Amino acid sequence: MNAAYERAGRACNEERYDDAERELRRVIADDPKHARAHGMLAYVMTQLDRSEEAVALARRGFALAPKDKRVAEDLALALAAHAWTALEERRLDAAEALAEEALHYDEIAEAWSAMASSLSLRDRWSEARVAIEKALALAPDDGDIRRRAETIARGCELVDETERQLDAETKEKPNDPAPLFAKADFLFRLGRLDESMLLHAAGGAMTRPERSKKRRRVKKKRRTGRKSV
C-alpha cells in the first residue's frame, strides 16, 4: 500500500486529483488507520471543491494521529477551505468559527485570510487588517492574499476618513447630540461596542435636560390653564 500512497502523492503534485482520490481510497480501504492517507485525501477533496468531505476526512485522520504535524496541517487546510465555502454562502459566523478552529491546529495563511475576509464583510476593518497582515507574513508571495490586503487597506482608509469627518462635526457642534449619535452608530457597525455605548450615553445625557424643560413647560401650562371654581 506504500506504493499506492506514493502514486497518490505524485498524482497530487501533478494536479491529477481524480487519480489521487482513487489511489487514496484504495489505501484507506486496505488500511483504515492510515492517518496520512486520510489527510492527503482531505487535501484532494479541497482541490475538488468538496470541503465538507475534506473536513470529515481530516478529522478522522487527526483522530488517528493527533501528534502528527502533517495530519494537523491537513486538518487546518480542510477547515480553512470550508471557511471559504461558508464565506461564499455569506455564512459569516460559520466562516469565522472554521477559520479560528483551523488556526488552533496550524497557523496557516489560508485561515488568517479567510478570517480577514469575514471580518471585513462585517465592517470590522481594524481586526481584518490585523488578520490579513498575519496572512501576508506567512505567505508574502501569494497573489490572492496580497490583493485582499490591498482591498482591506483601502477599506481601513475609508473608515479612518469617515471617523475624522465625524470627529470634526462633533467639535463643530459641541451642544448638538446628533453627531455623537451618528458616530456611535458608525462605531457600532465597526464592532467597537464599548466606544459606541459611551457616545450613546453622552448623547443621551445631552438630550435629557431638554426633555426635562419640555415636561416642566407642559406641567406649567396645565397648572395655569385650570379655571378656578
45 within 8 A of 72, measured Cβ to Cβ: no
Q: Where are the domains of the chain?
A: 1-92, 173-229
Q: Give the pLDDT confidence score for residue 164 in this predicted structure.
A: 86
Q: CA-to-CA distance for 140 and 135, rounded, in angstroms? A: 8
What's the rounded mean pLDDT across residues 183-207?
79
Identify the band that residue 76 occupies on the pLDDT scale cut at 50, 70 and 90: very high
pLDDT digits (tens, 9 = 90+) for 105-138: 999 999 999 999 999 999 899 999 999 999 999 9
Give the lowest-confidence range in 84-98, 124-138, 153-167, 188-202: 188-202
157 within 8 A of 140, measured Cβ to Cβ: no
* pLDDT over 90, % of the chain: 66
Please determine, for residue 156, whether its predicted confidence score (pLDDT) is greater than 60: yes
CA 111-117-123 angle, 5° bins: 140
Q: CA-to-CA distance for 69 and 130, rounded, in angstroms? A: 26
Name the more confident of 174 and 19: 19
Q: CA-to-CA distance for 127 and 60, rounded, in angstroms? A: 32
Please list, residue by residue across 82-111, b when 16 or more beta carbons sit within 10 angstroms of its beta carbon and e when fewer do. Answer: bbbbbbeeeeeebbbebbebbbebbebbbb
Please determine, for residue 228, whether its predicted confidence score (pLDDT) is greater than 70: no
175 CB-contact burial (10 Å; exposed 0-12 / middle 13-18 / buried 19+) = exposed
Q: Give the pLDDT confidence score for residue 218 in this predicted structure.
A: 53
Please determine, for residue 225, whether its predicted confidence score (pLDDT) is greater than 60: no
Identify the band that residue 229 occupies on the pLDDT scale cut at 50, 70 and 90: very low
Q: CA-to-CA distance for 219 and 209, rounded, in angstroms? A: 15
Cell of 164: 475624522
Please determine, for residue 198, whether its predicted confidence score (pLDDT) is greater than 70: yes
120 within 8 A of 152, measured Cβ to Cβ: yes
What's the rounded mean pLDDT across residues 190-215?
72
Type of residue found at 39: G
108 within 8 A of 76, measured Cβ to Cβ: yes
Please determine, for residue 33, whether its predicted confidence score (pLDDT) is greater than 90: yes
CATH topology of domain 1-92: 1.25.40
Name the more confident of 134 and 166: 134
105 within 8 A of 79, measured Cβ to Cβ: yes
